[in-house]
Chains A and B, each alone.
Chain A
């Protein structure tokens, strides 16, 4: 399986899309995680939120729901919605690879969020396609002898990490 590499340029594009989505959908928070639970980008009032835990639990949630889907003969459930007393969470899967999460309250509505997410999804799909192509190109380049920044990690570098 290939690694997931995020470059500056695409990171900025992703940030733009989710920041626009946050405004258009009148959401509190919008973030993107990959299906393995790593957070890719976030936008909104994150101070009160433990975003690392959110990312991991979201991925676990989507993975469990994917498992359920396959059990009943579906490929996946691309959209999940959790309704709370104050806040709601709208989760959708982009390109079968990353997860877009929108947290919103009574200032917005499910209909509006759904509409705006659909538009953002299309844009995100294109960006992640570009990332995929870049990762492939990078891989080929490395096979041809270009060094990665990690090619020279030494035992000492790693030992230093554990020196307290």
Chain B
């Protein structure tokens, strides 16, 4: 749900990074935070456990610049990936404008990817969103690991509507901004229809 503020001439959009536990959602945000001009970003908030596992969400506000006289502000969120945090995960999807699904490329995590994707579809539906129509990007992360599956194998199992797909190595920043750009683009294009 985009928030258009005519008084402040701002558009606020919410993007959620989804995916199984330890797939690199927080790492995506961390990289974006590290590489963004201080004037364009707010504080990166992580509600995490002592072992750095996301407990509730990470949050990063980002100013992307001006479109048609309106300041565009993106609020990036991650969800906790671990299966038993489903109740929290559902809350974070409230009012979402675009979703990035971060998949873990390792063969051993394939089932977890599929389960998380199904979970995303179900939780979106509970908020009245349809995964088929919401702005959506797939990121195949951890491409640098020797245990990772070939990209086309992952693509065939996880890409379901021809959504933009990016190979990534999040700690090095490979594919991170391409992913963000692709989802932001879809979200802004949605505004045209409204």
Contacts and interface: CB of A to CB of B under 8 A. Distances in A.
Given A50-B42, A148-B194, A153-B67, A2 B184 contact: no
B55 to A, nearest CB: 11
Contacts of A1: 1, 95, 127-129
A95 to B, nearest CB: 15
B64 A161 contact: yes
Contacts of A150: 11, 67-68, 70, 188, 191-192, 194
Contacts of A142: 194
Contacts of A66: 91
Interface string A81-99: 0000000000000000000
Q: What range describes how many residues of B lie at the interface? A: 35 or more
Given A35-B94, A36-B1, A56-B75, A160 B7 contact: no
Interface in A147-164: 148-153, 155, 157-158, 160-162, 164
A7 B87 contact: no
A152 B70 CA distance: 13
A72 to B, nearest CB: 13
A60 interface: yes
A45 B22 CA distance: 40
A8 interface: yes
B125 interface: no
Given A60-B56, A150-B194, A161-B184, A53 B45 contact: yes
B6 A7 contact: yes
Nearest to B11: A150
Contact of A2 (B1, B37, B45, B87): B1
Interface string B27-58: 00000000001000011010100000000110
A17 to B, nearest CB: 14
Interface string A50-61: 101100110010
A82 B181 CA distance: 39
B56 A64 contact: yes
Contacts of A157: 67-68, 188
Contact of A7 (B7, B14, B177, B189): B7
A64 B79 CA distance: 13
Contacts of B6: 5-8, 11
A38 interface: yes
29 contacts: A1-B128, A3-B1, A3-B194, A4-B2, A4-B4, A5-B4, A6-B8, A8-B6, A11-B8, A36-B1, A36-B94, A38-B3, A50-B43, A52-B43, A63-B91, A63-B92, A64-B91, A142-B194, A148-B191, A149-B69, A150-B11, A150-B67, A152-B68, A152-B192, A153-B188, A157-B67, A161-B72, A161-B184, A162-B181
Please name the 6 residue pairs, one residue from A and one from B, whose CB atoms are nearest each other, closest first: A36-B95, A11-B7, A150-B191, A63-B91, A161-B64, A38-B3
